[in-house]
Structure 1
Amino acid sequence: MNERRRPNLPPTSAPGRRRRGGRARRRRGGRSRLLWPGLAAGAVLVLAGGLALKGVTEPAGRPSDMAGASPSSETGGTEEARKDAPEPEQAEDGKKDAKEKEEKETEEKGTGAGAGEKPDPGSIPSSGPGTFATADGGGDRVGGSGRTLTYVVQVEDGVGIPAREVATEVERVLADERGWTADGKTGFRRVSGGASDFRVRLATAGTVDDICGQYGLDTGGEVNCNVGQDVMVNLKRWLLATQYYADDVTSYRALIINHEVGHFLGHGHEGCPGAGRPAPVMMQQIKGLHGCRTNVWPYDADGRPITGPALG
């Protein structure tokens, strides 16, 4: 983020709960009826009066509309009795579509955004209970041959984002060849229980302010921080990014993780090394680029560190 890291707290762990979300499978539309050209009205009456149609069966699980009568169609009864009735499968599909829409809205309620959409800022909760769900499972070790830092990923309860979803993004960032593992020594491994070296915690602005404030940092409801073993990620920044990354929220999330984990690793803030050059990941880019280009990685594709002048 934006503040100098403080001494690490003793390793800890936090049990979590897994959230699940489901989505109904959408059925195909109802069957269309084929009307035989040239069939006279009289023939229809004859058939309705007593001739049985072969190869026509009752839909599975659906009783006949007329007890004891031979069905003349998939809906049962005569053509006159059902000509204005909706197809049963079409009606069923309508119910399923409505249910599917309702489930999707419920699933998106926490942030007010669908996949690939930015949420309405007013829909993002500004405070929460201060309790967290921990992403279950774990990941493989990534990085160099030196120390391995274990971490857990947690999401504050009630924000509507599954902890496992956030964990996937964090794992991707920390495993990237342009990340902190490019030094050839640092390694990371995500765990879900027991002791861990640090925690990545996605939380509402109010909760970030509270936790960071315990160490004397003022995050002002806007920014992220690293304090002790906690990498605190502001939900507002996670969902909206900043003006410089407004069209690339995914990249900004990588900047958050790399910047705050960089503080945990002992790196301080840096300035822009020169106009047109990539901004160091330890630069407080939220405060301006000062002539530099946006960049979210501590190393370039060739393994060279992207740095700038150290700031006091």
Structure 2
Amino acid sequence: MNVHRSNPSSSSGASHRRGSRVRRRRGGRAPLLWAGLVAGVVLLLAGGLVLGERSASSGGRADASGPSAPGSGTPSAPEAAETEEKAEEEAEEGTGDDSVEADSIPSSGPGTFVTAQGGGDRVGGSGRTLTYVVQVEDGIGIAAPEVAAEVERILADERGWTADGRTGFRRVSGGTSDFRVRLATAGTVDDICGQYGLDTGGEVNCNVGQDVMVNLKRWLLATQYYADDVTSYRALIINHEVGHFLGHGHEGCPGAGRPAPVMMQQIKGLHGCRTNVWPYDREGRAVTGPAVG
């Protein structure tokens, strides 16, 4: 939010032309005239300040950035410093004008995709290597290379699916691939997932066949549990849907206060678990829960 501050207008002094006409005479009358003029100016300025204070206290010309305590005027130095500190924190947290509004996200698109070019290094254990491409639906205003870089980072993380010691990933941009990560509008996700009998309702992601379908709305807005950490939620999307591709089914919360499994449908609630977006912890232990049919 922009805070507009009004600058008080400066008052002009008395006219020097009148004073220039005063000539010194015997008996000291000129100093007396100057003293009278100065006193008049002081009275005028004092009256102006009183009127200005009354006007500000009545709210007529005050330009406040927020509610103030009754009878308060200009904030004290500690209050001003606290206000500036809060503004800086909000800017760092991304709560300013750059935040994404839900109604600005397109709900449907052409259903055609652009593939991120280039490729990545193999990541993971010594077992099988799964190749994948990253595609972004045309016209949604997001560059395919940016999405590809984020997907690569997620799949390469030591807490990801490669922690099983058997699975490896490598991004490609041409030829055949084992699966596709496709960022698309809600309408396109619904269409593709619906071809396999899944109802994503314009809200969720899915894995069907070789497609990991990522709903643009979820990619940009996350969910209520990750609203302040959209980047982490993107890791949950990729790990959850790739987990399905790897053959993992849904899991439930293993107990209150424990990390939620990545294969848990966290969008439907945490059920006492803590947020978690990785299939393994930093010690290489699988984060799992009871199977959910």
Same structural fold, with TM-score higher than 0.5 when normalized by the shorter chain: yes
Counterpart of 1:295 in structure 2 is 276
Deviation track 1:87-130 (CA, whole Å, cap 9, x = no partner) reads xxxxxxxxxxxxxxxxxxxxxxxxxx999943111110000000
Unaligned runs of 5+ in 2: 1-93
**SS class of match (1:244):** coil
Looking at structure 2, the residues matched to 200 and 309 of structure 1 have their Cα atoms a distance apart, in angstroms, of 27
Kept in 2, the 8 Å contact 1:270–1:282? The answer is: yes
Q: What does 1:1-312 correspond to in 2, within 5 Å?
A: 117-312=98-293
Find the residue that maps to 2:237 and give its secondary structure: helix
Instruction: Tell me the SS of whatever aligns to 2:225.
Output: helix
1:203 Cα shift? 0.1
Runs of 4+ in 1 over 6 A off after TM superposition: 113-116
Q: Is the 8 A contact 1:154 1:163 kept in 2?
A: yes
Which structure has the bigger radius of gyration?
Answer: 2
Percent same amino acid at aligned positions? 88
Which deviations, in whole Å up to 9, do the C-alpha atoms of 1:9-54 show, x marking residues without a partner? xxxxxxxxxxxxxxxxxxxxxxxxxxxxxxxxxxxxxxxxxxxxxx
Q: Tell me the SS of whatever aligns to 1:171.
A: helix
Q: For 1:254 and 1:181, how far apart are their aligned partners in 2?
A: 14
2:153 maps to a residue whose letter is R
Using the alignment, how far apart are the partners of 1:145 and 1:115 within structure 2? 45
Task: Count residues in correspondence.
Answer: 200
> Match for 2:144: what amino acid?
A
Q: Give the residue type in structure 1 aligned to 2:290.
A: P
Q: Which runs of no fewer than 5 residues in structure 1 stay unpaired?
A: 1-112
Contact 1:149 1:197 in 2 (8 A): yes
C-alpha separation between the residues in 2 aligned to 1:168 and 1:114? 24
Q: Deviations over 1:253-301 (max 9, x none)?
A: 0000000000000000000000000000000000000000000000000
Highest relative contact order (Cα 8 Å, sep 6+), 1 or 2?
1
Q: State the distance in 2 between where 1:184 and 1:114 align.
A: 40
Call closer, same or farther: CA 1:261–1:115 in 2, change over 3 Å.
farther
What CA distance in whole angstroms lies between the structure 2 residues aligned with 1:266 and 1:118?
36
The alignment partner of 1:166 has SS state of helix
More deviation in 118-127 or 162-171?
118-127
CA shift for structure 1 position 305: 0.1
SS at match of 1:168: helix
TM-score by length of 2: 0.67
Q: CA deviation at 1:237?
A: 0.2
Closer, same or farther: CA 114–123 of 1 in aligned 2, 3 Å: farther
Whole-Å Cα distance in 2 between the matches of residues 280 and 114 of structure 1?
A: 29
Q: Which protein has the bigger helix share?
A: 2
